[in-house]
């Protein structure tokens, strides 16, 4: 029976309804009266999953028969967010699915919120990887995302008395309908032990790694469908398991308990995501995790070469392997080991292949984020890789010595091994030496890499360096997150903008169309009302949807300066207390973000914000003109509610510290105006929207450097600015801590003594700029026009643009359109 495609893949409404009810019965084993909301979510998820399969198989078939050049994106983090809504949109069946569930008395949005999001990342870097694989699929580029299937993702944040409390993220509790285990493609990963030399049958000296322990890596595949295309690429995440033979085999004969312990040790490898952002901790398990997923992935690539009968010498022609920061950079040494020790290639051939395969993206200028592993630790976990790194280093430094004769200081800086004091392996140096391309993630960031962090590598090989300014996917961050805006834009311009975001420029010609501007304002107002309702439910504080929504959502970090925003709130509060009848634009300050569990100052910053809220929100003098809401557990899901409702986007990092930022782009697309420093991609956002549509303040990067060189004295700023003094003194007095002056003392002390992130230096400039924001907001029409222009000029920040640049300038890959197999 072949009447077109099977019922199970059909996108028409009747087929969807039948599948949905079928899956409720056959997958969930429930009839409607007994079904929970989660049963309905899973029934719908399976309905969608069925419809992905045909595309997934067709894609795999196209890539296999054409032996397509493939991007392998190696990332320790993929912060995907929920899949169901995105897949409905990319399949083009969101509205019809809403009708189907609606006719059964259910609400689609309600079902979407049932999905536990896979929070397999910390923040910017992990979310960037997710946007990139969406764009790769939409652009029909053959690509695999490789990472770790953490059993526990980023912790769930709750607040207790205004302090952050962490809860484990049991995202797999109710099963994961989007993944497929592929145990037939499991690989073995070695750890520890020692190396031995031996001579092979050709009398050549070779090295054998005799491991102390073996762990199995089992791939779990998730299809990643592009927007309105047949391409469904694969996200392949590795789970660690104890090998059967190891459990009860020769090592543990008779030792049942020992075998079980061994199993637990093995499975610990993919147990939990490290919640540190921009702070290197040097933990052994983290190095093991990195090696685990990288070795699994490289072995998987060798398997793919084999089934496509491509000789191993052509590895670099088949694969473009991208290192998402240094976390996967052990791959340079591991590919050398696989090619030399196991595939028996000559060192020089292997090195040539390795360098042509890898590209390295740097994501941070923070020195404390640069990964280094102590030599004893490295030797213990990866003895063979240490030898390989020594060999790479010796050959590399020989060349450096010839180029820079006698420059021993430079050689010490370029070395893969840090030699002053305790010795370390420097992973950024390994990534630079082993890659043919090195990139930063915004113009300023790339310039600072060249001048500063990677200066020596730039002077050695300037041709390796390029910039790839980050971007975000408009499918998730506009179409899915902001359906009202999506309808307005599509009714105005057609729907081409979803694949070609530059078309948003077309909105500019509607800026004088009063009806359009009014509809724009209505969209924002409705989004704000939705968020207000959400906040009221969660936090029991009333929110005025007509107040200015001033939003800062991102990881909590001193360099991102959430506490500068807090100082501003206190400054406004002081104005009200001094003159309760003062005229003031009502504002709602919305914060969200997680602090690394061991980062005490970041946790204190959260407490400061919540403590200010607890006073300001209930002081009758304020008369509702200021509200402060810290929304717990900022995540992809929560971001999707927040960005569309923002009026003002806070991007206030110290100049020269934020590599790019990507939240800034999500706000801009959704029509928020930015108040920001000249940092990261803010600079490029201002270039696109024009100075007159951007609120700029603060020191510039060279000014920060100059202040540092001169010896910055924050105390002087404090003494010079009466407003600042009042704010600092009020917090220091314990006013926001029921009179307990000890609570915020550590934070105030750092600001007055060192202020490493220049809050006090930027305070007056920030407050003046915020006053300008309020003045503009009073003119609602002017504000709306500026907001429309921000959206209209956000095309550059689509990750489609970013990925096109990676494809042509680093990866040299082309698209491979997929024909649907019937
Ligand atoms: C070892 C600890 C650690 C963990 C994570 C060090 C560094 C990281 C990441 C590189 C931190 C990160 O997410 N960086 C962010 O990357 C985004 C995507 O490029 C940028 O937009 C952000 O500016 C940058 O902070």
Tell me, rounded to whole angstroms, the distance of Cα 272 from its chain centroid. Answer: 17
Instruction: Tell me the CA–centroid distance for residue 263 and ligand 1, in Å.
Output: 32
Nearest CA to ligand 1 atom 7: 278
Would you state the pLDDT for residue 252? 55
| Catalytic, out of 46, 554, 561, 627 | 554
Give the CATH number of the domain where residue 789 resides: 3.40.50.2000
Instruction: Tell me the CA–centroid distance for residue 679 and ligand 1, in Å.
Output: 15
Q: Is the pLDDT of residue 2 over 90?
A: no
Nearest to 748 by CA among 572, 605, 569, 596: 605
- Mean of pLDDT values over 398-404: 98
Tens-digit pLDDT profile for residues 321-360: 999 999 999 999 999 999 999 999 999 999 999 999 999 9
| Cα gap 231→229, rounded to integer Å | 6
| Cα gap 372→197, rounded to integer Å | 28
Would you state the pLDDT for residue 249? 52
Q: Is the pLDDT of residue 392 over 80?
A: yes
Q: Give me 238's structure tokens.
A: 């590795």
Is 351 found in the same domain as 421?
yes
Q: Which of 78, 127, 132, 278 to mutate to test the pocket of ligand 1 (most atoms within 8 A of CB)?
A: 278
Is 623 found in the same domain as 573?
yes
Nearest CA to ligand 1 atom 6: 278
In sequence order, the β-bridge partners of residue 627 are 588
Q: Which of 363, 598, 664, 676 to mutate to test the pocket of ligand 1 (most atoms within 8 A of CB)?
A: 363
Is 765 found in the same domain as 780?
yes
Q: Provide residues with CB under 6 Å of ligand 1.
A: 122-125, 128, 276-280, 325, 363-364, 369, 371, 441, 470, 658-662, 680
| Catalytic, out of 239, 318, 557, 560 | 560
In a domain, 61, yes or no: yes
Structural domain of residue 5, as residue ranges? 1-66+83-116
Is 206 found in the same domain as 173?
yes
Instruction: Tell me the CA–centroid distance for residue 704 and ligand 1, in Å.
Output: 21
In a domain, 162, yes or no: yes
In a domain, 822, yes or no: no
Which atom of ligand 1 lies closest to the CA of 662?
21
Q: What is the pTM of this model?
A: 0.97
Residue 226, H or E segment: none
Which atom of ligand 1 lies closest to the CA of 327?
1
Is 688 found in the same domain as 638?
yes
In a domain, 820, yes or no: no
Nearest to 597 by CA among 556, 562, 568, 569: 556
Is 100 found in the same domain as 239?
no
Q: Which of 123, 125, 327, 453 to mutate to test the pocket of ligand 1 (most atoms within 8 A of CB)?
A: 125
3-class DSSP state of 821? coil
Instruction: Tell me the CA–centroid distance for residue 709 and ligand 1, in Å.
Output: 26
> At 279, is the pLDDT very low, low, confident or very high (cuts 50, 70, 90)?
confident
Helices (H), 67-167: 84-91, 94-103, 108-112, 124-138
Number of domains in the chain: 3
Share of the chain above pLDDT 90, in %: 95
In a domain, 816, yes or no: no
Is 764 found in the same domain as 730?
yes
Would you state the pLDDT for residue 248? 46
| Catalytic, out of 364, 473, 662, 701 | 662
- Mean of pLDDT values over 815-820: 97
Would you state the pLDDT for residue 165? 98
Is 202 assigned a catalytic role?
no
Would you state the pLDDT for residue 251? 57
Which atom of ligand 1 lies closest to the CA of 125?
13
Tens-digit pLDDT profile for residues 439-473: 999 999 999 999 999 999 999 999 999 999 999 99
Is 391 found in the same domain as 251?
yes
In a domain, 738, yes or no: yes
Q: Is the pLDDT of residue 246 over 60?
A: no
Which atom of ligand 1 lies closest to the CA of 281?
1
Nearest CA to ligand 1 atom 9: 278
HEC per residue, 387-429 = HHHHHHHHHHHHHHHHHCCCCHHHHHHHCCEECCCCCEEEHHH
Would you state the pLDDT for residue 217? 98
Which atom of ligand 1 lies closest to the CA of 445?
23
- Backbone dihedral region of 551: left (phi > 0), alpha (psi from -120 to 50 degrees) or beta? beta
* Residue 124: other Cβ atoms inside 10 A: 25
ipTM above 0.90, yes or no: yes
* Residue 640: other Cβ atoms inside 10 A: 20
Instruction: Tell me the CA–centroid distance for residue 658 and ligand 1, in Å.
Output: 9
Is 386 found in the same domain as 242?
yes
- Mean of pLDDT values over 657-685: 98
> At 755, is the pLDDT very low, low, confident or very high (cuts 50, 70, 90)?
very high
| Catalytic, out of 476, 666, 793, 796 | 666
- Mean of pLDDT values over 542-566: 98
3-class DSSP state of 674? strand
Would you state the pLDDT for residue 592? 98
> At 1, is the pLDDT very low, low, confident or very high (cuts 50, 70, 90)?
very low
| Catalytic, out of 327, 363, 475, 587 | 363
Is 656 found in the same domain as 612?
yes
Is 487 found in the same domain as 426?
no
Instruction: Tell me the CA–centroid distance for residue 340 and ligand 1, in Å.
Output: 33
The answer to whether 171 and 119 have CB atoms below 8 angstroms apart is yes
Is 108 found in the same domain as 77?
no
Query: For the purposes of burial, counting CB atoms within 10 Å of the CB of 236, is it exposed (0-12), middle (13-18) or buried (19 or more)?
Result: buried
The residue behind tokens 């079980």 is 260
In a domain, 300, yes or no: yes
Share of the chain above pLDDT 70, in %: 98
Which atom of ligand 1 lies closest to the CA of 369?
6
HEC per residue, 451-492 = HHHCHHHHHHCHHHEEECCCCECHHHHHHHCCHHHHHHHHHH
Is 318 assigned a catalytic role?
no
Q: Is the pLDDT of residue 6 over 90?
A: no
Q: Which of 290, 364, 802 to mutate to test the pocket of ligand 1 (most atoms within 8 A of CB)?
A: 364
The answer to whether 514 and 530 have CB atoms below 8 angstroms apart is no
| Cα gap 421→730, rounded to integer Å | 44
Tens-digit pLDDT profile for residues 284-312: 999 999 999 999 999 999 999 999 999 99
- Mean of pLDDT values over 232-237: 98
Q: What is the mean pLDDT of the chain?
A: 96
Which atom of ligand 1 lies closest to the CA of 286?
1
In a domain, 821, yes or no: no
Is 271 assigned a catalytic role?
no
Nearest CA to ligand 1 atom 12: 125
In the sheet with 626-630, reading across from the earlier edge strand, the strands are: 626-630, 587-592, 548-553, 648-651, 673-676, 695-696
Would you state the pLDDT for residue 4? 55
């Amino acid at each position: 029976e072949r009447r077109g495609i099977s019922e199970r893949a059909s996108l028409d409404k009747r087929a969807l309804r039948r599948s949905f009810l079928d899956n409720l019965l056959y997958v969930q084993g429930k009839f409607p009266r007994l079904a929970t909301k989660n049963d309905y979510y899973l029934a719908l998820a399976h309905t969608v999953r069925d419809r992905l399969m045909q595309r997934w198989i067709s894609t795999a078939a196209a890539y296999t028969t054409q032996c397509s050049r493939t991007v392998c994106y190696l990332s320790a983090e993929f912060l995907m967010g929920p899949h169901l809504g995105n897949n409905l949109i990319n399949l083009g069946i969101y509205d019809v699915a809403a009708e189907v569930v609606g006719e059964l008395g259910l609400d689609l949005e309600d079902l979407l919120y049932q999905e536990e999001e896979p929070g397999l990342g910390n923040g910017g870097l992990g979310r960037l990887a997710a946007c990139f694989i969406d764009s790769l699929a939409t652009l029909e580029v053959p690509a695999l995302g490789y990472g770790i299937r953490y059993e526990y993702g980023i912790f769930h944040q709750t607040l207790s008395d205004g302090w952050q409390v962490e809860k484990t993220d049991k995202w797999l509790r109710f099963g994961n309908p989007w993944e497929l285990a592929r145990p037939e493609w499991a690989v073995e990963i070695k750890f520890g032990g020692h190396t031995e030399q031996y001579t092979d049958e050709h009398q050549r000296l070779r090295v054998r790694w005799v491991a102390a322990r073996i762990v199995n890596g089992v791939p779990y595949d998730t299809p990643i469908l592009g927007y309105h295309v047949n391409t469904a690429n694969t996200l392949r995440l590795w789970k660690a398991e104890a090998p059967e033979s190891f459990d009860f085999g020769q090592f543990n004969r008779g030792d049942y308990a020992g075998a079980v312990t061994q199993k637990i040790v093995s499975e610990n490898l993919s147990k939990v995501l490290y919640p540190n952002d921009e702070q290197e901790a040097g933990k052994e398990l983290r190095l093991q995790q990195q090696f685990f997923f990288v070795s699994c992935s490289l072995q998987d690539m060798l398997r793919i070469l084999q089934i496509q009968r491509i000789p191993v010498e052509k590895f670099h022609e088949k694969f473009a392997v991208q290192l998402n920061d240094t976390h996967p950079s052990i791959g340079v040494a591991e590919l050398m080991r696989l090619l030399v020790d196991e595939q028996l290639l000559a060192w020089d051939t292997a090195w040539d292949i390795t360098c042509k395969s890898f590209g390295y993206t740097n994501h941070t200028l923070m020195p404390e984020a640069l990964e280094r592993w102590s030599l004893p630790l490295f030797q213990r976990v990866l003895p063979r890789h240490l030898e390989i790194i020594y060999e790479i280093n010796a050959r590399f430094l020989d060349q450096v010595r010839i180029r820079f004769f006698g420059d021993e200081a430079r050689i010490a800086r370029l070395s893969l091994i840090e030699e002053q004091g305790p010795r370390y392996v420097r992973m950024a140096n390994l990534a630079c030496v082993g890659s043919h391309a090195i990139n930063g993630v915004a113009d300023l960031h790339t310039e600072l890499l060249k001048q500063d962090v990677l200066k020596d590598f730039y002077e050695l090989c300037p041709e390796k360096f390029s910039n790839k300014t980050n971007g975000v996917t408009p499918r998730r961050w506009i179409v899915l997150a902001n359906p009202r805006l999506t309808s307005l834009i599509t009714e105005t311009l057609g729907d081409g903008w979803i694949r070609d975001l530059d078309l948003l420029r077309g909105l500019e010609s509607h800026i004088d169309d009063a009806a359009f501007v009014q509809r724009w304002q209505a969209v924002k107002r409705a989004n704000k009302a939705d968020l207000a309702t959400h906040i009221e439910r969660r936090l029991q504080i009333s929110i005025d949807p007509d107040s200015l929504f001033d939003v800062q959502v991102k990881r909590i970090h001193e360099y991102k300066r959430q506490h500068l925003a807090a100082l501003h709130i206190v400054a406004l509060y002081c104005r009200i207390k001094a003159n309760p009848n003062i005229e003031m634009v009502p504002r709602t300050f919305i914060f969200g973000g997680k602090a690394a569990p061991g980062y005490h100052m970041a946790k204190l910053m959260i407490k400061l914000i919540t403590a200010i809220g607890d006073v300001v929100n209930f002081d009758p003098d304020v008369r509702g003109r200021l509200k402060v809401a810290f929304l717990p557990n900022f995540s992809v899901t929560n971001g999707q509610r927040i960005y569309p409702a923002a009026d003002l986007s806070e991007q206030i990092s110290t100049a020269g510290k934020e590599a790019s930022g990507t939240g800034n782009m999500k706000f801009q697309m959704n029509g928020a105006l930015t108040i920001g420093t000249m940092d990261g991609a803010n600079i490029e956002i201002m270039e696109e929207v024009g100075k007159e549509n951007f609120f700029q303040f603060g020191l510039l990067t060279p000014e920060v450097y100059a202040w540092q060189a001169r010896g910055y004295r924050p105390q002087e700023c404090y003494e010079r600015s009466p407003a600042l003094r009042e704010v600092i003194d009020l917090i220091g007095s314990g006013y926001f801590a029921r009179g307990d002056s000890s609570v915020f003392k550590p934070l105030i002390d750092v600001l007055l003594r060192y202020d490493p992130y220049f809050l006090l230096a930027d305070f007056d400039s920030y407050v003046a700029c915020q006053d300008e924001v309020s003045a503009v907001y009073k003119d609602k029409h002017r504000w709306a026009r500026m907001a429309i222009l921000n959206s209209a000029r956000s095309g550059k920040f689509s990750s489609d643009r970013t990925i096109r640049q990676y494809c042509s300038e680093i990866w040299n890959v082309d698209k491979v359109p997929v024909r649907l197999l019937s």
